[in-house]
Each structure stands twice: as structure tokens, then as C-alpha cells.
Amino acid sequence: MSKLEPYLIEFPKIGNSVQGYISLSEKENLPIDVKRVYWTYYTPEDIKRGHHAHYELEQILFAVAGSVRIIIETIEGKVFEFNLDKPYLGVFIPRMCWRTMQYTHNAVQICLANSEYDESDYIRDYEEFKKLQTSWVGSK
């Protein structure tokens, strides 16, 4: 698998249906060195968020409640779709991926990120992303 492809991560679960569950990850089991965490909630169901890529940022997204459907287009031109519908699932998003996310009304998405917020790391223009993709694919 290319380092530029997203993938699902299934985190361990402790517990049972009587007592409930804990999911966790030790730092060394995460694919990124976490520098920032943020969370997204109360997103109306007809709204799609995202619509951007990052030059360098890598992230892990979880839906700790509700579900989040994520469509990811990589710089290599591949498209992936994930439905985060269980609290123990996460998706790793590498750099240079265009993403859109849609949420159920009760969804709470947590994002772990490997750097501080930096607007200059965003690619917010899809045409710009497609140009970068064309030159990336052409250079391989």
C-alpha cells in the first residue's frame, strides 16, 4: 500500500456489553505523532465539510458518536470511501488527500493531527488540487 493512501484503523476494545467499553491507543501504536486534537459536532445532515487537502498534515479521524461518511481522493488519483460508524474505528488520512465528510445529526468527530493549525498548509481550491494531482501522476 502506498504511504499516500488512507486506511481504516480498528482500535482495541476493553469491556463487554454489560459494562460498556473503552477503546484506546498508546502513542507508539498511532501512525502519527499527535500535536493537536479538535472535534466537530452538531453538523447538519445536509452539510458536507472538508473540501480541502493538506500539503503536509496527517490526521486520524474517529466518530465517537453517530457516524461520519468520508470520501477521500489521493494525490495519486485513487478514491476511497469510509463509513465511520463504530466508536472503535478510525481512519488515517495521509498528506495530499482531498476529503469531504458528511455527518449524522448525532455525530461527534474527533481529529488527531500531527501539527498545529496552519492555514498555509491547506489546499482549498479543488482545481488547484487537480493540477497538483496531474503533475504528480505525470511525474511518476
Active site positions, annotated: 52
Number of H helices, E strands in the chain: 1, 12
For residue 96, which of 117, 78, 112 has the smallest C-alpha distance?
78
Question: What gap in Å lies between CA 43 and CA 109, rounded to an integer?
Answer: 10
Binding segment (CB under 6 A) for ligand TYD, from list 44-52, 58-66, 77-85, 129-137:
44-52
φ, ψ dihedrals at 78, nearest 5°:
-95, 150
Cell 466537530 -> residue: 40
Which of 25, 49, 83, 136 is in the footprint of ligand TYD by CB under 6 A?
49
Query: Using CB under 6 A, which residues numbered 80 to 119 contact ligand TYD?
Result: 117
Q: Rule CB under 6 A: is residue 38 a binding residue for ligand TYD?
A: yes
Nearer to ligand TYD, 40 or 114 (CB): 40
Which of 30, 50, 71, 92 is in the footprint of ligand TYD by CB under 6 A?
50
Nearer to ligand TYD, 59 or 133 (CB): 59
Question: What gap in Å lies between CA 1 and CA 123, rounded to an integer?
Answer: 24
Smallest separation, CB 50 to ligand TYD (Å) = 4
Question: What gap in Å lies between CA 128 and CA 3, rounded to an integer?
Answer: 22
Binding segment (CB under 6 A) for ligand TYD, from list 18-26, 47-55, 76-84, 88-96:
47-55
The total number of residues shown for the chain amounts to 140
Residues that bind ligand TYD (CB under 6 A): 38, 40, 49-50, 52, 117
